[in-house]
Structures are given as C-alpha cells and as structure tokens.
Amino acid sequence: MIGSVLRIYQSHEDSPFHRLKPGSRRPYLVYLRLMEAEIGDVRIDAVTGLQVKRWHAAWSDAGAKPAAGQTRVSVLKAALTFCVVAGHRSCRILRDDIRELRLPAPRPRSMYATVDQVRRAIAAAHAMRRPSLALCYAVQFETALRQWDAAGQWYPLADPTICSVVYGQSKWAGLEWRHIGEDLVLRYTPSKTRASSGAEVVIDLRLCPMVLEEMARVPVEARSGPLIVNEATGRPYMEQQFIGAWRRVREAAGLPPELWSRDLRASAITEGRGGGALTDDAAKVAGHTKARTTADVYDRERLEAHRRFATARLGRRAPKSEA
C-alpha cells in the first residue's frame, strides 16, 4: 500500500527524511499526511504512471495550484526511492514510471524588490519597533543570504545540526554576531551547504551600507549570540512569527502582496547583475561552489568577488548626473 511506503519513509532510521532542513520538512509533513489520507489505501502494483499523472492534475487543481501537485509527486517519488533502497523492490516500477513523466511545473518566481522597496520595509519595521527585522532585511538584501540563514532556523533536538540555542524541545542555528570579524568581514557557511560542499560565503560588510546602518543601532554590549532576535520573546524568530511579521511590514510599507521576504536574496542578485556584476562573482556571493578551487584560494576569491559584486550594486544606486 502507498500508505505503508509513506510511513516507512518517515519512520525508518536511515531515511533521508530525517536529514531534511526545517524549511523542507514542514511541507513534506503536510503532503505526507494529505497523501496518506488521499491515496494511502491504494496498492502499489495497481498504480501506473498515467494514474499518477491524473492525481497530479487533481492535486494541481487543473493547473491553478501547480506547486501543490509538483510537491506531492516529489514527496511520493522520494518515499518510493527510499523504499527501493530499503529492499522493497515492488516500489521500483512505479518510481521509474514517475521519473518518465513530464508534468507541468510551477513557473520560476520573477518577483524581486528594488532598493527603495527594501528601504521602505526597513522603515516600516522600525515604525513597528522591530529593529531586529530591519537588520534582517538589510542582511538578506545586502549579503544575498537566504532568509533562514539570516534569521536562523529551529531544529528538533534529535537533529544532528550543531546549534547554539536550545529552547524547550527545539534548538536553533543561524547567523550570529561571532560570524562578523573585527574587520567587518562576515564569514558564514549556509545551512544548504553545511552538510554537503561546506561552501562558505565571505562578505565585506563595509560595502553593505544598509547593514552597517542597522548594526550601528545595536549597542556593543548586545552584540553576542544570534544576530536576529525577536524583541517580544528574547529568542530568535519562530518561522510563523517571522512570516507573520513580514506580512505586516509588507502591508505597512505598501509593497506588493506577492513579494516574499525570501525574495530579498533574488533581489540582491538582480541588482548586482543589473549593475554589471559578473555572473561568476554573483555565483560566489550566492554560495555556489567550484570544485577546482582550493581552500586557500577559495576564501580570497569569494571576498574579492563580493567586493566587485557590491561595488557594482552601489554604482547602480548612485544618482544619475544630468546631462
């Protein structure tokens, strides 16, 4: 039964499900639960690729919700793949049939924020007396770090990720003040590469004026532990707290309702490329790796890449002289 496959994927001690980051695990749990209710009692050997295609059409609401359909199929495929590896050979045929499907996918996001919009979001955060959010938005936009690296993520206690904050049954890891050196160079290994390539981003904050302006508001004695702390709790933001705060900031700043906080990373790359930054530099700033680079050169290349990248961005912000 498909329900058995989904449960094995969630419960087996060797399943890659346990290595999912919090941001990925939450939607996986949602769709695992939904699929068990929808198709859990269907026999594996009674399903064909065409049946999965029909399910995808229904899950996608005839194309109105393509992400819902795509995510369900991805989760089902991941569960089947693990069960194949775990010795359940009957799952292989359906897994391979799904791989052959060509299903409609969501369109890539094209939304990004301008520097003026980011400044408005920062101003709105201050008006709400949430300087932590203002600093977070500045870091996301100026450094191109992912949202959940800037704000951090909460993990289950059993997760192997090394964390610096523990609260209740959860622990937190993310950007901390210790990642910023006295030379104002930020060195950080993003969560996405921490367990794989180990790629580190190296950012010269002297070329990130929005970040410097927000950092200047933080007393020196308060510059320890997590960089972004919820003023209401004294701890890093929980996911729903952060998302809810962004909605309020976005509305107060008059930003498009389609703009997500995590779009600030894409906004950084868009501004840099629009200002003439090299694609290779943008890739390094974003934390992408090149296998041929040695550890010593890698560091220097990333720092110089950021300086060229940031200079291109700042040049685009400069007011145009009148002819």
**196 and 277 within one domain:** yes
Please say if the pLDDT value at position 111 is more than 60.
Answer: yes
Q: Is residue 156 situated within a structural domain?
A: yes
Q: Is residue 258 situated within a structural domain?
A: yes
pLDDT bracket for residue 296 (50, 70, 90): very low
How many domains does one find in the chain? 2
Q: Is residue 248 situated within a structural domain?
A: yes
**121 and 86 within one domain:** no
Which domain, by its residues, includes 223? 115-317
Highest mean pLDDT among 29-38, 272-281, 292-301: 29-38
**199 and 283 within one domain:** yes
Cα(183)–Cα(205) distance, integer angstroms: 9
What does the angle CA 187 – CA 189 – CA 195 come to, to the nearest 5 degrees? 160
Averaged pLDDT of the chain = 87
pLDDT computed for residue 284 by the predictor: 76
Q: Is residue 121 situated within a structural domain?
A: yes
Average of pLDDT values for 258-285?
A: 82
Closest CA to 78 of 155, 160, 148, 18: 18
Q: Is residue 189 situated within a structural domain?
A: yes
Please say if the pLDDT value at position 277 is more than 90.
Answer: no
- What is the phi/psi pair of residue 167, to 5°? -145, 120
**128 and 90 within one domain:** no
- CB under 8 Å to 59, separation ≥6 — which residues? 65, 68, 69, 72, 73
pLDDT computed for residue 89 by the predictor: 86
Please say if the pLDDT value at position 293 is more than 60.
Answer: no
Cα(25)–Cα(17) distance, integer angstroms: 7
**294 and 212 within one domain:** yes
**162 and 18 within one domain:** no
Q: Is residue 286 situated within a structural domain?
A: yes
Q: What is the CATH number of the domain that holds 211?
A: 1.10.443.10
**198 and 261 within one domain:** yes
Cα(77)–Cα(22) distance, integer angstroms: 20
